[in-house]
Amino acid sequence: EETVFKDIAFGPKNMKLDEAEIKQRVAQAADFVGLSRELLEKSPFDLSGGEKRRAAIAGVMAMKPKILVLDEPTAGLDPRGKESILNMILNYKRATGATVLLVTHSMEDVARIATKILVMNHAQVAMYDTVKNVFARSDELEQIGLAVPQITRICRELKKRGLNLDESIYTVDEACAALLPLLKGGRG
């Protein structure tokens, strides 16, 4: 399409929605992904890599799917772009109640936004459970070739060195909550 607006509107237009509904959905989707009104009038070819990624995701969001499937949405992005995409996904999920299926090798991304994890290995289901329970099986994940989040590795190492820590900690907030009492009162 010749503009980002028309690119995002492609799906809703094919759904045979009226022009007012299409405009409303494009505006809403653009807001979700943080694309300014000025960018909507540009050619998609004039956008940065991160903007192109957000525009593509907005095109899907504009169709208001009940299930949003995203394949490696943060791959190749710098840390700021990655954080922006993850926040956008979380905001969309909270605002719409949609189910988000995130296909990724980044366990850091999974730890940030998932409630359940399905791990595939050689076209077979290797694990399906809550984030906490899957990350508690970090040795198995690493055998499959998936690295647990860095904070999980740190907590495992601290546990090996004698600190009383849960090995399934997977967020910095959880680590702080577990470590602060230990720092105040001894080794736990």
Q: 61, exposed or middle or buried, with CB in 10 Å at 0-12, 13-18, 19+?
A: buried
What mean pLDDT value characterizes the chain? 91
Backbone angles phi, psi at 68, to 5 degrees: -105, 115
Domain coordinates of the chain in residue numbers? 130-188
CA distances from 89 to 25, 36, 70, 110, 148 (A): 16, 17, 9, 12, 21
Span 48-54, average pLDDT:
88
Please write the tens of the pLDDT for every residue from 62-106.
Answer: 999 999 999 999 888 888 888 888 998 999 999 999 999 999 988
Task: Inform me whether the pLDDT recorded for 118 exceeds 70.
Answer: yes
* Chain position carrying tokens 């070819």: 45
Q: pTM value? A: 0.77
pLDDT at 103: 94
